[in-house]
Every structure is written in C-alpha cells, then in structure tokens.
C-alpha cells in the first residue's frame, strides 16, 4: 500500500466535528477544545500555533473513536484545510457509509470539500464512528480549518485527473483529439487558467489548444475538459508532459503515455465484418450490464471519467450493429456466452433494450446469452403469482431461442439475491419459488432450469450457506465480481491495489472448489472503482493493468486444467461507472480481451483474427445525443 492512505483519514474525522460556523478562524485553542469534546480519548496536539495545530498519527494504527453520536452531519459539506509533506487519502467511517478524499503531499495548504449527503439526504450517513490510522504511522500534518457548510468553501484547488488521446486507436496523418481532464476540489470556480506547457514526443504536431491557450473555467467541486488537436507523422510511442498555470493549478507537472498506431489499411466495409470465432476447449463467459441506452446515462462517464471511453464511443446499446461489433470481438477472443443483467419487479421490466437488439443482430448465432435476474427489489416484490409471471415470460420470450445459453440442455437463470425470496416468503420461500419455475419449465417441454445463485458475501466461502442454496434448488453458485484480497488484509479497505486481487484469486477459486456441495462458476476480476456511482463513498481498487489481468487468466487456466472446471466467467465487461470493465476501450485497447484469448484459445494456423475498431473499415461512430433522455 502507498503511504498516501493514512493521515488525512484522521484529519477527516477531526474536521467532522459539529462546530460553530466561525470555528475555522478561531485558531489552535478552539481546535484543542473540540478534539477533547468529540473523541474518546482525544488525539494529542504536538504543536499549537495562532491559526493552526500540528497533529500526528498513532504509531500502532489503531482507530480514533468518536464519542457516541458526537457527529451527525446536518449540512452537505465538511470543509477542512490541511497541509502535509506526504500525499494521502482520507476516510471517515459512518454508521451507514464512508467518505474518502485526496490530500496532496506538497506541503502547501489545501481545502477539501467532502460531500456528506447520502441518497440526497442530509444526515443519511448516520453518526460518525471512527477514524483509522492505516499505513503512515507517526506522520505529522497541519490543520487550520474545519467546518460544516451548506455550500463548498475555499479557493480553487485543481487536480489533473487524466489526460491523453481521446480515441482507442489513433492513426498517423489524421487530426486527433487530446483531452485534459481536471477536477476542482475547492469551493470557488477556477478562472484565468491556461495550458502552460504541453510537450509531445518528436513526430507529434500540436494544431490547436496547446501551450499558451486558455483552459476552460472549472466550477466549484466540478470538472472541466480541454481539447487539444494534434497530428502525428508516423506510428510512435512516447510520453507527454503537461502543466497548467493560474490560481489553484497543480504545482507539479503531469505526464502520461501517448501512442499513434500503425494503420491496418483494411478495405472499407458496408457492415460489421463476419466474425471468425477462435477455437477453445473452455467455456468462457462474462457478466454484462445493459445500462447504456441513453445519452444522459453516458454523461457521467463523459463528464467525470473520459479516460474510460469505450472503443465504440459512448455507444447506442439499442443498435443491432453495435451488438454485432460486441459479438465479433467476443467470439474472436475466446468468449462464448454472456450473463446479462435483467430487471423485473412485479411485471415491470427495464434495461431490456440490449436483449432486443441482440435478437435483431446479424451475428447472434455466434454467441449465447442468459438472464442474470437482478432481483435487488423492495420488500414484498416476490410472490407465487409473480414467480409464475416471470417464469412464463422467460419461457415465451427467451428459452425458445437457439442462442439462449444452456448447461446440460437446461436454460440458465442466475439469481442475484436468493435471500430476497426468503425475505418475502419465509425460510423456505426460495425453494418454493424455484420449484414453481422448474415445474413450469418441464410442462413446457424443457428438462428444467439451471438456476445459479449469486453468493453473498462475495469473497466468503461458507459451506453451510452453500448447503442452504442447494436445498433451495440451485445447481451452481457464482459471484458478480471478485474484489477480495484473501489473507492479504489491505491497510486501507476503501483503497487498495489490484495486485492483491490478482494474487488472492487462485486461493479464492480453490476454497470454493474444496467446499464442494455445489459446483462453483469461477470469477475472473475485471477491477473495481465506483467513485462515479457512489462518489467518494465507495471502494477504489487501484493500479489495475492488463498485465495483472493476464496473470489472473493464466492462473485460471491452470486452475481449470487441474480441477477439470472448464466453465469460467469474467466479472462485468462494461460496468463503466463501477470501474469494472474489459470491453475494448481507450485505456487498454483490446489487451483485456487478448489476455483471455491467449490463455484459453488455440491460435489458428494463420494467426489470430486482427482486433480493430469500426473506424478501420469506414464504419461508426454510434453516438447518442448527450441531451437525449
């Protein structure tokens, strides 16, 4: 773990005190008073100055505890101003959630505005519980402002979150866009900014928007993106260097990779070229989230995380042509099925657009799919009548299709939350409802349904819980995404390295296999960083790389050969908001897919099918109107 994860967590707790509006200006004496009032025991102050205090993290990593109900936020923002010579991440733990935030380590004062609302409600997080000192024992830092406020406060404070070429593939001789994406952590708009420096490797020409150009204003606690036009004269790889100027601009330069690809010079096509599936002795599938049918749905990715842009762009998931590209890329890289998130709540369906597009896709014969019923529905949503209705819908609309995924001849249905069935119908409710579905399937001439249970907690292995699922009528278990660390306990549970996930994955598969009771569908992690969906109250698994994912695939191949388990599933391909994705994109190109292909497929005599995007054959793009509902 990086050292950046410890000290600001303590700061966040200190700042979370329910204090008078003017306490930020009251200096060290007021800070001492409040620390004593809200902690048990109070943290030690090592130096007290007229306008700030110096604190130090504990050497043993134990948490600092709040007094019961000492802090219940009733305003939206927690504002604090801190200074440290080393970077860190803050973490406040509440009864109903957590909040983390970044702190630069440049020994300058920085204001942080931490949004404390949950589900649009003040005090939705409940009381603060504690603050943990993690992996930076004995670190000193300065604190001079903290307060609760209905609005963000403090001067502009900018972070360059990401920068790079906008598209996945970029060819020489063509004008391309380079983006600079910035977040403002301060409570005032950042104005009067400029690109002070933007240097590319030899061979790249800046056409517009480069050094000396005005940078867009950045709103308080908001984002802004600046676009630079560039052109390369030849294929190349290198590093760019970037610096902004103006009030609130980062002191340090930002750098990153830049690559211009060799143009494959393919002939133009009138439609998606026919897939060329590769041969494999394994059944490799993946979870798929069909949540991208509107421009507004993409706007959060476009605005706050443009580095995640897919190769297909911010695509229209209702388009059969988009689905045909997805099918082509999947089967040419060793995949054979998808488990598609599917939503039904007492007869009301949503997110079914992708399935309808798949029905109309030209190449649907090459890929199978099955329902992953996301039944995270409110109490009372399950009943005998509703189970009959949903099963009838499956039988009439899905199970009769030749491309519906089956195991041993039985159509597959994955259940997200078996416990919700028990919640609504009692201890034997899940068994009762699955039995109804099995009988209806057999009456329709099917051999039954292969029900797969999502197992909770995902990283746990509990033989007794699996016995319950077997008694309920499930044939197999799985999980949506593995983001565990095994016995490698991270110092910061809200922010840790993807290498821990990769290293612990084989142990997780082995424990589930040894547990027996039911077959387990092994899960290959595609990462996790859900700051877009849950702001900074979620979990960030950082430093995911194609190389680490390739290790996961190689380990999974060895596990499959040793155990005879030939059916495996990737965590979500396209949870762009949750940071769990492997579909071709500007960050990794096809590298995640190619890791699967290289581990599980057999190379054809003429070499692997070439991976390329629509632009290479004169097709696309497939954008949605950002304003479309």
pLDDT digits (tens, 9 = 90+) for 396-425: 999 999 999 999 999 999 999 999 999 999
The answer to whether residues 47 and 174 belong to one domain is no
Tell me what the mean pLDDT of segment 84-104 comes to: 80
Residue 298: the pLDDT is 93
pLDDT in tens, 113-141: 988 876 666 656 777 777 665 555 677 88
Residue 23 lies in a domain: no
Domain final residue pick, 103, 129, 149: 149
Residue 545: the pLDDT is 97
Q: What percent of the chain has pLDDT over 70?
A: 90
Distance CA 627, CA 629 (A): 6
Greatest mean pLDDT among 3-12, 529-538, 592-601, 618-627: 592-601
Position 511 confidence tier, pLDDT thresholds 50, 70, 90: very high
Residue 60: the pLDDT is 64
Position 526 confidence tier, pLDDT thresholds 50, 70, 90: very high
The answer to whether residues 73 and 190 belong to one domain is no
Residue 274 lies in a domain: no
Helix axes 498-515, 546-563, angle to 10 degrees: 10
Are 188 and 172 within 8 A, CB to CB? no
Higher pLDDT, 443 or 2: 443
Residue 7 lies in a domain: no
Q: State which H helix or E strand residue 345 sits in.
A: strand 337-345
- Is 50 a residue whose pLDDT tops 80? yes
The answer to whether residues 386 and 499 belong to one domain is yes
Query: Could you tell me the CA-to-CA distances from 526 to 126, 272, 571 in Å, in that order?
Result: 32, 27, 6
Boundaries of domain holding 516: 283-617
The answer to whether residues 145 and 189 belong to one domain is no
Residue 17 lies in a domain: no
Q: The CATH number of the domain where 235 resides is what?
A: 2.60.40.10
Domain final residue pick, 129, 149, 169: 149
Residue 362: the pLDDT is 98
The answer to whether residues 134 and 243 belong to one domain is no
Tell me what the mean pLDDT of segment 26-54 comes to: 78
- Is 8 a residue whose pLDDT tops 50? no
Residue 14: the pLDDT is 38
Q: State which H helix or E strand residue 385 sits in.
A: helix 384-397
Tell me what the mean pLDDT of segment 312-329 comes to: 97
- Is 356 a residue whose pLDDT tops 90? yes
- Is 81 a residue whose pLDDT tops 90? no
Residue 6 lies in a domain: no
Residue 282: the pLDDT is 98
Are 424 and 381 within 8 A, CB to CB? yes
Low-confidence winner among 79-88, 261-270, 503-512 (lowest mean pLDDT): 79-88
Tell me what the mean pLDDT of segment 210-223 comes to: 96
- Is 10 a residue whose pLDDT tops 50? no
Higher pLDDT, 19 or 494: 494
Q: The CATH number of the domain where 73 resides is what?
A: 2.60.120.260
Domain count, the chain: 3
- Segments in 267-375 forming alpha helices (H): 295-304, 320-331, 353-360
- Is 222 a residue whose pLDDT tops 60? yes
Distance CA 324, CA 319 (A): 9
Q: Is 126 left (phi over 0), alpha (psi -120 to 50) or beta?
A: left
Residue 109 lies in a domain: yes
Residue 70: the pLDDT is 64
Low-confidence winner among 7-11, 338-342, 560-564 (lowest mean pLDDT): 7-11
The answer to whether residues 318 and 182 belong to one domain is no
Q: What is the DSSP letter of 403?
A: T
Secondary structure class of 177 (helix, strand, coil): strand
Q: What percent of the chain has pLDDT over 90?
A: 69
pLDDT in tens, 579-628: 999 999 999 999 999 999 999 999 999 999 999 999 999 999 998 878 76
Residue 71: the pLDDT is 65
pLDDT in tens, 444-458: 999 999 999 999 898
Domain final residue pick, 217, 245, 260: 260
Residue 51 lies in a domain: yes
Displacement of CA 385 from its chain's centroid (Å): 36
Tell me what the mean pLDDT of segment 510-528 comes to: 95
Tell me what the mean pLDDT of segment 255-263 comes to: 97
Among all chains, which residue has been given the structure tokens 């409040």?
A: 34
What token pair was written down for 351? 């997110």
- Is 145 a residue whose pLDDT tops 70? yes
The answer to whether residues 252 and 287 belong to one domain is no
Q: State which H helix or E strand residue 195 sits in.
A: strand 194-199
The answer to whether residues 457 and 311 belong to one domain is yes
Residue 20: the pLDDT is 38
Q: State which H helix or E strand residue 607 sits in.
A: none
The answer to whether residues 139 and 209 belong to one domain is no
The answer to whether residues 179 and 321 belong to one domain is no
Position 578 confidence tier, pLDDT thresholds 50, 70, 90: very high
Position 572 confidence tier, pLDDT thresholds 50, 70, 90: very high
The answer to whether residues 143 and 204 belong to one domain is no
The answer to whether residues 190 and 253 belong to one domain is yes
Position 6 confidence tier, pLDDT thresholds 50, 70, 90: very low
Residue 19 lies in a domain: no
Displacement of CA 340 from its chain's centroid (Å): 17
pLDDT in tens, 457-497: 988 899 999 999 999 999 999 999 999 999 888 877 778 99
pTM of the full structure: 0.90
Are 12 and 91 within 8 A, CB to CB? yes
* Average pLDDT score, the chain: 89
What token pair was written down for 508? 């997780």
Low-confidence winner among 109-123, 271-285, 341-355 (lowest mean pLDDT): 109-123
Query: Could you tell me the CA-to-CA distances from 519 to 323, 445, 465, 493, 567 in Å, in that order?
Result: 31, 25, 14, 30, 10
Q: The CATH number of the domain where 549 resides is what?
A: 3.20.20.80
What token pair was written down for 437? 């579905």
């Amino acid at each position: 773990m990086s050292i950046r994860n410890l000290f600001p967590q303590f700061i966040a707790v200190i700042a979370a005190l329910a204090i008078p509006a003017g306490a930020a200006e009251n200096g060290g004496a007021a800070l001492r008073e409040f620390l004593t009032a809200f902690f048990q025991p109070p943290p030690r102050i090592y130096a007290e100055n007229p306008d700030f205090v110096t604190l130090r993290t504990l050497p043993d990593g134990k948490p600092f505890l709040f007094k019961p109900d000492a802090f219940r936020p009733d305003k939206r923002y927690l504002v604090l101003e801190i200074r440290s010579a080393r970077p860190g991440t803050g973490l406040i733990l509440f009864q109903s959630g957590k909040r983390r935030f970044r702190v630069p380590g440049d020994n300058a004062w920085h204001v942080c505005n931490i949004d404390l609302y949950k589900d649009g409600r003040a005090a939705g997080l409940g009381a603060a519980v504690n603050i943990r000192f993690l992996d930076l024992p004995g670190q000193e830092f300065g604190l001079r402002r903290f307060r609760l406020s209905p609005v963000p406060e403090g001067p502009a404070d900018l972070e360059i979150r990401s920068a790079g070429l906008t598209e996945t593939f970029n060819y020489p001789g063509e004008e391309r866009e380079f983006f600079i994406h910035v977040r403002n952590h301060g409570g005032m708009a950042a104005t009067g900014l400029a690109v002070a420096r933007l240097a590319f490797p030899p061979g790249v020409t800046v056409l517009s928007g480069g050094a000396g150009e005005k940078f867009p204003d950045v709103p308080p606690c908001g984002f802004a993106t600046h676009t630079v036009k560039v052109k390369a004269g030849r294929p190349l790889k290198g590093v760019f260097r970037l610096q902004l100027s103006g009030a609130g601009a980062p002191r340090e330069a930002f750098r990153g990779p830049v690559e211009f690809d060799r143009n494959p010079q393919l002939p133009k096509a009138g439609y998606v070229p026919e897939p060329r599936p590769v041969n494999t002795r394994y059944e490799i599938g993946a979870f798929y989230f069909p949540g991208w049918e509107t421009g507004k749905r993409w706007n959060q990715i476009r605005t706050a995380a443009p580095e995640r842009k897919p190769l297909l762009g911010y695509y229209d998931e209702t388009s059969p042509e988009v689905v045909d590209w997805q099918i082509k890329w999947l089967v040419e890289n060793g995949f054979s099925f998808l488990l598609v998130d599917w939503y039904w709540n007492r007869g009301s369906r949503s997110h079914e657009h992708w399935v309808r597009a798949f029905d109309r896709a030209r190449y649907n014969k090459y890929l199978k799919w099955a329902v992953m019923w996301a039944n995270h529905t409110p109490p009372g949503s399950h009943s005998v009548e509703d189970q009959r209705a949903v099963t009838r819908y499956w039988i009439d609309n899905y199970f009769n299709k030749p491309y519906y995924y089956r195991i041993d001849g039985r159509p597959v249905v994955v259940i997200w939350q078996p416990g919700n069935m028990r919640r609504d119908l009692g201890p034997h409710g899940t068994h009762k409802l699955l039995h109804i579905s099995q009988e209806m399937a057999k009456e329709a001439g099917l051999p039954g349904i292969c029900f797969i249970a999502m197992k909770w907690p995902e990283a746990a292995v509990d033989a007794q819980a699996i016995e319950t699922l077997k008694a309920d009528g499930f044939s197999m278990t799985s999980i949506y995404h593995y983001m565990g660390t095994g016995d490698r306990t991270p110092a910061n549970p809200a922010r840790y390295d993807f290498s821990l996930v990769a290293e612990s994955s084989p142990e997780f598969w082995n424990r589930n296999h040894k547990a027996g009771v039911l077959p387990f569908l092994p899960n290959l992690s595609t990462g996790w960083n859900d700051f877009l969906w849950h702001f900074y109250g979620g979990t960030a698994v950082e430093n995911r790389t194609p190389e680490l994912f390739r290790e996961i695939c190689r380990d999974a191949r060895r596990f499959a050969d040793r155990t005879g388990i030939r059916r495996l599933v990737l965590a979500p391909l396209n949870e762009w908001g949750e940071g769990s994705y492997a579909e071709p994109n500007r960050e990794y190109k096809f590298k995640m897919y190619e890791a699967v292909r290289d581990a599980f497929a057999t190379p054809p005599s003429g070499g692997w099918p070439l991976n390329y995007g629509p632009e290479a054959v004169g097709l696309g793009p497939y954008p949605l109107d950002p304003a479309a509902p």
